[in-house]
Amino acid sequence: MSLVEKIKQQVVPRQATRVDVDDLVTRVEGLQRFVRAAEGHVPEDRLVAARTVIDRSGERLALSRAHTVVALAGATGSGKSSLFNAISGFQLSRVGVRRPTTGVAHACVWGQAGATPLLDWLGVPPNRRFTRESALDGNDEAALRGLVLLDLPDFDSVEEQHRVEVDRLLRLVDLVVWVLDPQKYADRVVHQRYLAQFQRHRDVTVVVLNQADRLVRTDAERVVTDLRRLLDADGLTGVPAFATSAKGQPGQGQLRAALERAVAARQAALLRLGGDVTDAVADLHPLVSSPARVPAEVPQATVDRLAGALGWRTCCPTPCRIRSRG
Ligand SMILES: Nc1nc2c(ncn2[C@@H]2O[C@H](COP(=O)(O)OP(=O)(O)OP(=O)(O)O)[C@@H](O)[C@H]2O)c(=O)[nH]1
Ligand SMILES: [Mg+2]
């Protein structure tokens, strides 16, 4: 592969599949039918994840689809708050030398009235909510109208409460920007515990190597290439990965462009929920795909009904695709 192709692969986002809201609702309903039919036949704890996805999908779809919720997530000191401030153009979140600095999620909303119920659902405290766009901006910020940008606490925190808060919010947001830095970009915990868990959310994942201004350009390119290798190993082939800086070159232009595309497409919430449903379905699949695992006392008709609710045929080893309209 030529160098140009390599760089292109690193920065050009994969062509995300579009998710139709009716198809998504159909899939969630199928999951719901499966859970109802399975109640009493399988251990309750096997159904918890599916129930959570069903509830969360219903809640998110009932809230504003005009808004795209994007979280800046990463280790302490990677520069989440600095990027949050740089993109919003204001010092909204404290940047600190003492670690960890951010203890509670901060939100900045661009234009678009009606974000309050969404922010309530996300659990962002009222005194940590900011609105970016005003009449003074003219049209400068128009491309980000509808963005809800979240600055999260650190996920590798010595503060247990920070980790709990990050894990809670990572389950709710539409798109995640993973903010890595040159020192810790290869940290095994970050890759295993977080990035590799987002394989089914590749369409709503962006990875940045922040603080690239601390490196000479060729070193920054080398680190991004190495990061790309690690992301491929995480199962995140094709996710956009590029260098940023909150302080100098190369700035936040590419990140801003990625946010603008996500806002314009209004697909992130649907893609996120679609990935969640796929995760839940994959988790349930062993219950009906392997006859050996179905207790003998469960009638075949029940197994067929369960499989049917998820769009599977029990006669073949691989799950048939969930039925989709159009
Ligand atoms: N040179 C350089 N320094 C940066 C950059 N981003 C952040 N910093 C510095 O790195 C330190 C940590 O930045 P923060 O923005 O507070 O990092 P954080 O990820 O929000 O940290 P926590 O809130 O503890 O999770 C601060 O001293 C920043 O000034 C960058 O792109 N380049
Ligand atoms: Mg911070």
Q: What is the CA(260)–ligand 1 centre distance, in A?
A: 23
Query: Each residue of 147-176: pLDDT tens digit?
Result: 999 999 998 777 889 999 999 999 999 999
Give the E-state strand segments of 163-292 in sequence order: 175-180, 205-209, 241-243
Q: What per-residue confidence (pLDDT) applies to 265?
A: 95
Give the number of the ligand closest to the Cα of residue 99: 1
CA dist., res. 93 & res. 105, Å (int): 9
Per-residue pLDDT band for 7 (boundaries 50, 70, 90) equals very low
Query: Using CA positions, which residue lies closest to atom 30 of ligand 1?
Result: 211
Q: What pLDDT is attached to residue 295? A: 61
- Ligand 1 pocket residues where CB is under 6 Å: 74, 76-82, 95-97, 99-102, 153-154, 210-211, 213-214, 245-247
pTM listed for this prediction: 0.86
Q: pLDDT by residue (tens digit) across 225-253?
A: 999 999 999 999 999 999 999 999 999 99
Residue 326 has pLDDT above 60, yes or no: no
Comparison of pLDDT for 234 and 303, the residue scoring more: 234
Of the candidates 176, 204, 188, which has an alpha carbon nearest to the alpha carbon of residue 105?
176
Torsion of CA 165, 171, 173, 177, to 10 degrees: 80
How does residue 323 score in pLDDT terms, banded at 50, 70 and 90? very low
Which listed ligand is nearest to 246 at the C-alpha? 1
pLDDT for position 320: 35
> How large a percentage of the chain has pLDDT more than 90?
67
What pLDDT, on a 0 to 100 scale, did the predictor assign at position 321?
A: 35
> What is the pLDDT at residue 289?
64
Ligand nearest to the CA of 101: 1
* Residue 100 Cα: closest atom of ligand 1: 24
What is the rounded CA–CA span in Å between residue 77 and residue 184? 10
Q: What rounded mean pLDDT belongs to the chain?
A: 86
Which residues in the chain belong to E strands, given as ranges?
Answer: 68-74, 106-109, 129-131, 147-151, 175-180, 205-209, 241-243
Adjacency order of strands within the sheet including 129-131 = 129-131, 106-109, 147-151, 68-74, 175-180, 205-209, 241-243
Residue to mutate, 95, 106, 158, 185, ligand 1, most ligand atoms under 8 Å from C-beta: 95
Mean pLDDT, residues 103-115:
90
Q: Which atom of ligand 1 is nearest to the CA of 74?
A: 19
91 CA to centre of ligand 2 in angstroms: 12
Does residue 313 carry a pLDDT above 60? no
pLDDT of residue 76: 92
Q: Is the confidence at residue 1, as pLDDT, over 70? A: no
| pLDDT exceeds 60 at position 5 | no
The minimum-distance atom of ligand 1 relative to the CA of 151 is 20
Ligand 1 atom with the smallest distance to the CA of 82 is 15
Residues 15-27 pLDDT 10s: 457 899 999 999 9
| Mutation test residue for ligand 1: of 82, 99, 185, the one with most atoms within 8 Å of CB | 82
Q: How many angstroms separate the alpha carbon of residue 70 from the centre of ligand 2?
A: 15
Percentage, residues of the chain above pLDDT 70:
81
Lowest mean pLDDT among 110-124, 208-222, 295-309: 295-309
| Confidence band of 274 (pLDDT split at 50, 70, 90) | very high
